[in-house]
């Protein structure tokens, strides 16, 4: 209960996403029925809710565990960072055709990434080596 506040609700469902555990998960900024999931096996998967069930609709693979994900503000592109220091970018709906390598830091894992709030072309990253 949330006295005096907006009504609250919760929903629990289990769906297989990847092997190696889920290391990153981020909702689409434009639609509450889309999630990106990143796994310990390098899987980047896009899930959409379909009649109450989460369905894997698109995906790609990174070298190393996925350590971060970020949707572009318009929700059409995604950045994915890996434990191997890769930063890749892909267009949602065509991730299976491959993601483009944007940068690589073979010395350290990417630990955070984000698009600028009002830009599909500017983003920032953080890595384990500072």
pLDDT of residue 112: 87
Secondary element (H or E) of residue 86: strand 86-91
Q: What order of strands is seen across the sheet that includes strand 34-39? A: 22-27, 34-39, 43-50, 53-61
DSSP, collapsed to helix, strand or coil, labels residue 25 as: strand
DSSP secondary structure of 88-101: EEEETT-GGG--EE
pLDDT of residue 14: 62
pLDDT of residue 27: 92
Long-range (24+ apart) CB contacts under 8 A made by 100-108 are 105/129
Handedness of CA 38, 39, 40, 42 (dihedral sign): negative
pTM score, two decimals?
A: 0.82
SS (H, E, C) 40-71: CCCEEEEEEEECCEEEEEEEEECCCCEEEEEE
Q: Which residues contact 55 (CB under 8 A, 6 or more apart)?
A: 47, 48, 49
User: Tens digit of pLDDT per residue, the chain (130 long)?
Assistant: 556 766 665 555 666 667 788 888 999 999 888 999 999 999 999 999 888 788 889 999 988 899 999 999 999 999 999 998 899 999 999 999 999 999 888 778 888 899 999 888 899 888 887 6
């Amino acid at each position: 209960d949330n006295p005096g506040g907006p009504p609250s609700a919760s929903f629990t469902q289990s769906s297989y996403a990847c092997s190696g555990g889920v290391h990153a998960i981020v909702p689409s900024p434009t639609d509450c029925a889309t999630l990106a999931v990143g796994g310990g096996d390098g899987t980047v998967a896009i899930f959409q809710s379909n009649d109450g069930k989460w369905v894997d609709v698109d995906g790609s693979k990174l070298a190393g565990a996925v350590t971060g994900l970020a949707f572009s503000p318009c929700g059409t592109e995604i950045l994915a960072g890996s434990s191997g220091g890769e930063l890749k970018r892909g267009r949602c709906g065509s991730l299976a055709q491959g993601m483009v390598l944007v940068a690589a830091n073979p010395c350290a894992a990417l630990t955070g990434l984000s698009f600028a709030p009002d830009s599909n072309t500017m983003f920032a990253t953080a890595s384990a080596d500072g």
